[in-house]
Amino acid sequence: MSQKPIRKAVFPVAGLGTRFLPATKAIPKEMLPIIDRPLIQYAVDEAREAGIEQLIFVTGRGKTAIVEHFDMAFELETTMKDREKTLEVLEPTRIQPGNLVTVRQQVPLGLGHAIWCARAIVGDEPFAVFLPDELMIGQPGGKGGCMKQMVEAYEQVGGNVISVLELPEDEVSNYGVIAPGESRGTLTEVRGLVEKPKRQDAPSNLIISGRYILQPEVMRVLDRQEKGAGGEIQLTDAMAQMIGKQPFHAVTFDGRRFDCGSKTGFVEATLALALEREDMADEVRAMARRLLGC
């Protein structure tokens, strides 16, 4: 049985980025660069690789720079042409009119509420969700990006698909964790979801890692505006209500995750990716040795 294609993706980008103040006072946290690409660019590139056509940004006040990043910069491009500089570096920032849509989350009521704000554009189609704070990098020469791997799994099993990663058991209490069922390779049946369990109560060491493929029925659950942990409308709670009613699987991502919502994770991502770039790896390695005195 063929599945409805995943053509649309929702990017919740309305957060205030308070952990990165004062840098995020006037600049959206999603525009902070990992070397020379903003976080949101990595997520958009991952979506495009997976064949997603329409990008839905759920924004808030002060987030116009995100949309402008993917618009044509006429003055900049004209100046670069006049100076005979290549425009190739700007190619990934171009999104065709109609392929980028923005909606406002006027009140910060949680991730589930942010997804619900995109309901009219999602319509009656399955859709992807990207949390740009979580930078997902596929293995060199491997199976591709996280969403590409998820779409390939979805085409086999349909329903709802989430990305998971294995973590040491003493770290899982900071994340959403799945209760696993039957496994086949990287694909695991999801029988339950637990948000930030105590170590001894965690049903597994597989944490949810910021990428989702969801059926449109999740919007009907979010319509109820039921509040969960922290008094917010939680996406995890809505997804949990789908288990048993629709197929629900997790894909163990073949790649690396960097938590760029934290300062240390942001620095780690910058260093890790810099060490893989031919144009700067040697200099960065030498700099690190010098700073560490080794």
Is 221 found in the same domain as 91? yes
Structural domains in the chain (count): 2
Mean pLDDT to the nearest integer, 138-157 = 89
Phi/psi of residue 202, nearest 5 degrees? -65, 130
Q: Which residue type sits at 96? A: Q
Residue 257 lies in a domain: no
Look-up of token digits 């300062």: 263
Q: Hey, is 41 helix, strand or coil?
A: helix
Look-up of token digits 């053509």: 7
Is 267 found in the same domain as 126? no
Is 136 found in the same domain as 13? yes
State residue 229's pLDDT score: 65
Is 66 found in the same domain as 91? yes
State residue 250's pLDDT score: 94
Is 212 found in the same domain as 294? no
pLDDT band per the 50, 70, 90 thresholds, residue 1: low
* Helices vs strands, H then E, count in the chain: 10, 13
Q: Which domain holds residue 294?
A: 262-294
Is 150 found in the same domain as 36? yes
List pLDDT tens digits, range 32-49: 999 999 999 999 999 999
What's the CATH code of the domain at 37?
Answer: 3.90.550.10
| Higher pLDDT among residues 11 and 61, named by residue | 11
285 has a pLDDT exceeding 90? yes
State residue 153's pLDDT score: 93
Burial of 8 per CB tally in 10 Å (0-12, 13-18, 19+): buried
Please state, as a whole number, how many other Cβ atoms lie within 10 Å of the Cβ of residue 150: 23
DSSP code, position 159: S
Residue 198 lies in a domain: no
Is 288 found in the same domain as 222? no
Residues linked to residue 135 through DSSP beta bridges, in sequence order: 258
Residue 41 lies in a domain: yes
Look-up of token digits 């952990």: 19
7 has a pLDDT exceeding 80? yes
List pLDDT tens digits, range 223-246: 887 777 667 778 888 898 889 899
Is residue 133 within 8 A of residue 259, CB to CB? The reply is yes
Residue 256 lies in a domain: no
Is residue 66 within 8 A of residue 59, CB to CB? The reply is yes
Is residue 52 within 8 A of residue 6, CB to CB? The reply is yes
List pLDDT tens digits, range 148-206: 999 999 999 999 999 998 888 888 888 888 888 888 888 999 998 887 788 888 888 88
